[in-house]
Structure 1
Amino acid sequence: MRKLRNYLNDLVLRAYVRLQVFAAQEPVRLRAALTSVVMLFAVFAPGLAQEHTAQMIGGVAAVALPILVGESARRRVTPVE
């Protein structure tokens, strides 16, 4: 059991370090992803109570748009070192 706990702790630490490196190297892409996650919860959480197609399509567009805009902005912006 202790080996499993150590292994899981190691995985969490590695993921945390990779997230820090990603944030340092790709700040624009990270901001776009975080914006999409926030919009995902803001749009889809209320939409789970109802099944409106228009709201779901709007939600998909609202989540995908920051990612697409972030990718185009990333090409023009260099990360700060």
Structure 2
Amino acid sequence: EVVQDTEVLGSRREEKLPLAQGGRFVGLVMLFDLETTEPLAIIHDSGLQRLRVGATSALGAKYLSRGGARRVGLIVTG
């Protein structure tokens, strides 16, 4: 995380700087084995975010649907 100190209305403020192409932020998620502390994966957070949204929608459809339902309808935005 790269930050820059600026002054706004007389008070100091720390602002994060987007350093990736297109003025975007880059976040990485690091996954480690709890027993050996061996690194298992380094995942770009935007890819993980897309998987999380899809997975939670699928789980919601599975567990909140009427028993025996065979179809699902989705209304999405964005």
TM-score between the two structures when normalised by the length of structure 2: 0.30
**TM-score of the pair, normalised by structure 1:** 0.29
The higher relative CO (CA closer than 8 Å, separation ≥ 6) is in: 1
Greater Cα radius of gyration, structure 1 or 2: 2
